[in-house]
Every structure is written in structure tokens, then in C-alpha cells.
Amino acid sequence: MAKRLSYVSAFYKNGQMLAEQYRIWSAYPDELKAQMEIVLVEDGDSSVTEHAEDVPRPDGLPDLRIYRLLPVQGQPSPPWRQHGARNRGAYEAVGEWLFLTDMDHVLPADSLRALFALFDGAMPSDVFTFHRLDAPHLTPTLNERGELKRHCNSFAMRRDHYWLVGGYDEDAVGYGTDSYFRRRLWDKSTERHLAGVPIIRYPRDVIPDASTHAPGVDPRELRNRGRRSSETRQRIEHKFLTRQPVKVLSLAWERVL
């Protein structure tokens, strides 16, 4: 059966959170699992010893593939390689649609079912966004004005539209911003915000490794990263404003599952 949806997410030291995702994915009804696949791409930090394929997998998961970005030999791995991970996942995906999100965000079965129901009537440039609830009590995430806050990095869109937009610019690897992709995305897309179709965020006080953090990093190193980030921002901003081609699929990789 052809897949309607590829669920794409990056992995970086998120073993406990991935186990929770496995629990949720394996509990999806069979008719939903038959229409989807999971594509995970590991960041590929050379210092990491915990890998996605080592997390125990329960029975009943949807179709699952795991890839890993490879470190550059002889060089320290830059942080924030999720841009390359998303591009690799989108390229390897076989679904007509992509759902892209971070590892600490969960797509409940009811939201997945609602999303499938919207696909048939969607226009090619439609991009679906979602409002967000916080685990464990499913309290709405609100902005400073008390309004429902969507997750700016979770989208559902056609796979061919992702590549029409251009994917994430891998020149920004090591900087960590997604804003340039979003600016190009909304220039070419129609947002369809689904206020009644939530995703669920897991904070670190619920699952300690739900999202990426770097305890114990020397503050001087953080300042050095900030300076490098400022230089990168100027370079990427110039590239964006002058409409230079986006750099994609530039990172070496391997399939591990």
C-alpha cells in the first residue's frame, strides 16, 4: 500500500523520548499505521554513544527507517545539524505528505486521523500548522497575549512542495536557526492553521531528554558559539536576500535500520 504520510524527525540524545514516541506510534490504530511511515535521522555527533537504533522497539510500530548523518573526519561535529537531518529525512521519505516535527512533540492518533481527512481537499501549496498542548496535563501553550501558541517548527505539507520551497539551507548548520526556511516557506505557501488539531509537547521535567540541551558546557564556549553564529547569520541573511541557491543534502549519511 502506498504511503500517504512520512513522519520525519531528528534524533539527538533523546532515548527516553524516543521510547515514549514508540509507545504512542505502536498504539496508533492499524488503519492509520498502514498509511504512514516513520523516518528518523540522527544528528551524527561524533561524541554521542547513545544511538536511535539502540532504543528498544516494541511490536506494532508503523514502517520505520533510521538514518544517521556522519561526522566529518578529523573535525569536531558542529551543533544543530537538524537542518541536514530534516532534509535527509524528506529526501528518503516515500509518502505523498510530510509531517515534520521535533522529537519532543507528539502527534496524537486523533490529530493524525484529522490530518488524513484534510489531505484530499488540500491545495498543492497548503501547509498545515497545529496548536500545542503541554504534557502531562495537556494545558494549552499560550503566547504573551494569552493566545494559543503554535509550534513554529511543526508542519504538514506535500513532499514535492517541501522541495519546491527548497528545504533547509545546510549553510546554516552549526547556527541553529530555522527562520530562513520559514521565511521561504511562507513566501510560497498557504498556511492552514488547525486550531482544533493539537500536537503535544513534552517538557524536560516530564521526560529529561525530551529536547536538546547541553548541561555543563563552558560559558566561554557558548560565547564563542554566539560569535560564530553572528557571522553565520550575516552570511546566510545575505544569501537569503540575494536569492542564492539553497545548499541541501550536503552531509554524508548512512542507513542504520
Q: pLDDT (tens digit, 9 = 90+) per residue, 89-133?
A: 999 999 999 999 999 999 999 999 999 999 999 999 999 999 899
How confident is the model at residue 22, as a pLDDT?
98
- pTM for this prediction: 0.92
Rounded to 5, what percent of the chain is helix, strand, coil? 35, 25, 45
Q: Does residue 8 register a pLDDT over 90?
A: yes
Dihedral-angle region of residue 132 (phi above 0 means left; psi in -120 to 50 means alpha; beta otherwise):
beta
Which grid cell sits at 23?
509507545
How confident is the model at residue 219, as a pLDDT?
47
Q: Does residue 256 register a pLDDT over 70?
A: yes
Nearest to 208 by CA among 107, 55, 103, 137: 103
Q: How far is residue 153's CA from residue 102's CA, in Å, rounded to a whole number?
A: 7
Which grid cell sits at 130?
497545529
Q: How far is residue 157's CA from residue 220's CA, in Å, rounded to a whole number?
A: 40
Q: How confident is the model at residue 223 (pLDDT cuts 50, 70, 90)?
A: very low
Please give the angle made by the CA atoms of 170, 152 and 215, to the nearest 5 degrees. 70
- Pairing relationship of beta strands 97-100 and 139-140 according to DSSP bridges: unpaired
The position carrying cell 498509511 is 35
Residues forming a β-bridge with 131: 150, 198
Position with higher pLDDT, 193 vs 141: 193
How confident is the model at residue 240, as a pLDDT?
85
How confident is the model at residue 50, as a pLDDT?
84
How confident is the model at residue 74, as a pLDDT?
65
Q: How confident is the model at residue 47 (pLDDT cuts 50, 70, 90)?
A: confident
Q: How confident is the model at residue 225 (pLDDT cuts 50, 70, 90)?
A: low
Q: Does residue 2 register a pLDDT over 70?
A: yes
Tally DSSP H helices, then E strands, for the chain. 7, 10
Helices (H), the chain: 15-26, 30-33, 82-92, 109-119, 159-165, 179-188, 219-241
- Which sequence spans correspond to the domains of the chain? 5-255
Q: How far is CA 229 from CA 38, 74, 215, 246, 253, in A?
A: 32, 22, 20, 18, 24
* Residue 53: strand, helix, or coil: helix
CATH class of 5-255: alpha beta
